[in-house]
Structure 1
């Protein structure tokens, strides 16, 4: 820390100008009249406002807005207004510029975008999550101006690219938030290149070992892969050229994150991931002739290689909701390897890489794209939702990544729904009233119940009745936010009606026993009847669940404990977090008897010494230690970053920790004996339980053992792998039994 870094200011000034000129060169093709002047003004304003600021990397702060603006222009394809907004995106938050100043100098469009990008100030409020509130605020502007989100994604991408210089706990929080919210959002807006990079960079910081292992594997196999691609393309390339098509053919490796995901899901090593890369054929062709050209190229490729009939995806006839168009097929090579081939036109490729922004470029004013329809739906759910920010973010997230199913109305209109939607979701998608009165459906002319899931290509007819009303049970199987919020709104109205009837009854009863309806009597009644809130209490009376005759018994209630308000709980958490951070300013040391803070190990991921972990401050249960790869970790770090504490193991560990090992192999006599020999005798490890399953000669065992730490566990796994007949051994996550 003590060394002084000499800064060459002249060199920095030159570098700032170099980056500014690079931005201008990129923007030049689409600049009109006064645009260059305005961009220059924005650049000079930002450079002046940030002049004394530096980033964590030690570089001048202005590098960041310049890079964000460059990403907007080059990787998303945005225009002048966005470039100006990107250059100024941090001035209101970090300098003494106000939104009024921005409006005066650059107009109200730029001001609105910057307002959407400026974080809300203050401590976490009732929502208990500043991050979720900021995300919600940003989405509110999405419905007015999509550029807010696109600039935010560019900002996040640059932050992820320069995350190296951040402290570890910040890296974890930012990488988790990126993976949890921004990568799915980029996916939904069709920005595949950015989505992929955000996922890979998140993985680089959240699971560094796995990430570096895969990067090395991919690089090692590069030469071999390129040779394979050249040989694969050669046969059909000549035919395509002879037919006069102008095509670009490239092989691109799958993203590191998607390879890791496949290995994890199918529990296979890197070498067995069959679609490590995809071949992409991009054809330059007039828009009127696109479909015919793509199918023609498909027929040429499948003249040389046999396609897998189950893996043909036609997103040209029905594009995805985010505008993605392409023809995908998987073919078998003469060496017995599956290869994915993607066929698309230059326009489709542009939309696939640049997503929403490219969409506008190609759109004729008349047609409303499915993406516009999606944004309208987001706007609708934002306007009618009074759920907390965290609930909203979770709900929004669940709608981002879902694959879609396509179904038809009886008249043949196409309806797009998230995968897993049921007939009731379909009904609400048509209209709230159709949903509310839905009593059943006919799918492909066959009568089915409300909760029947819809499959691709189903034709759905909704049956309604004026007597039908939504009920609580419906929430168990609908998944679209329109259906959920409509049902909740209806139930809320019903509850209010019943509660106001209940209130009338209570008032009459209190009059008889000469009591007023005030806070004290309401608190007594809630305490006596065990109601959560006044509304719940009145509702129960209105519904007849509480007998009005019992109300007179409240005079027996002496001292009434005030229920905790949400704000008090928030204060408690903030206080607990502060206290925990004061005791361990930098780090929570686990396994040290000296620790002054109570902590427990989380049941969701059962950490053992050596695992990468963090502490999470809970409301009533002290600090919980989670693995950074815990299924819940991403959500905790995204929504409650301020409650995260860095944690580390000490070396002197005397306790044994429970871990699970799965062993798979071919069954033979003496196999169990060999396994127990290694665990109990060679390694002197205590086993808690062992369950063995053999099926047609395949042996599968789940063993729970007590180990000291991760290296102890690794040793055991390596020893077991050497047993004859054992195919694979790996740790599995233990959940609370």
Structure 2
């Protein structure tokens, strides 16, 4: 990076050596001017303009800056695109062959895959760090040796944007998602045109799209085509709606949430409103608790109307909540727990980190099963980076029980952290 500096003006000599113990060590050699740019960012370039030969010229640097400003998306920042992070906010990792890769702090296995090659990133299913199998969500640490695991059947999904943090990975994922959406929309349009023609309906494709978007309360024809191509709505229902639209009698969609019954013994929080009330005796509406976030009594929740499985209840902080609200707002229902619900048994998972000391796992299980009298549904303990890592799934009555268990676990000698996880 001396004769060919990085796009942000970074200049340095790098070399990598391996110790007899098998540890990779990176050496950086640079002048005081180069170090100033590396440590304090590209703005420091102007302090040294004209000092020293070589390097990225001022006009070149400005041209590169202008190009990035013009191509940066609204949701991005210039810092993300231009990689202005100081060296203290970077992480250095190695490929299995010893090549050094520099990524921003917080980068994941998925970011590493895209940094190597876009094709490697799009087919990434996980990785191995220092020989240990990990998911693509795993964050990288200085000195890690990272190997990527791929599959030919893998394809980027919208959820990957919650995993990737580097601008290169996010830009490529967004590009692929846009391409997939455009392809899906084209297939959906062709399918809708074919069906309208086969059903012999006196509607143009634009009129059909307008009727469906109004019924499903979505804004664009693009979304209508996606609904059809991804089979998120049954074609029998589409035919019925368009037939009624052709006759000028398209009904408004009706999703009737259960109303709380007024009860003289109930409290003020159980008042009647347009809100789905969840309890152990809900008979009016078919529902189930989301397996992605395992909501329990006391969690803020919402309902989501599925196509074939009734209503699914999710926590408001569910990993899928943002996507569901953005992509299917017309299917989201307000929901809350009935205050009198107290006899149900909910599954909660607690993750524990502690010192690697004898008997710690036994003390934890004794506390939960003997002292607190709670049923343990599953239990696992292991050793990672010299620390005990455990996961405990227990039956509880609600969030108050979970809070109490976590409080008591933190008081066990040797336990460093205890917190609830989604699953």
TM-score, reference length from structure 1: 0.28
Structure having the larger proportion of residues in strand: 2
TM-score, reference length from structure 2: 0.45
Larger radius of gyration between Structure 1 and Structure 2: 1
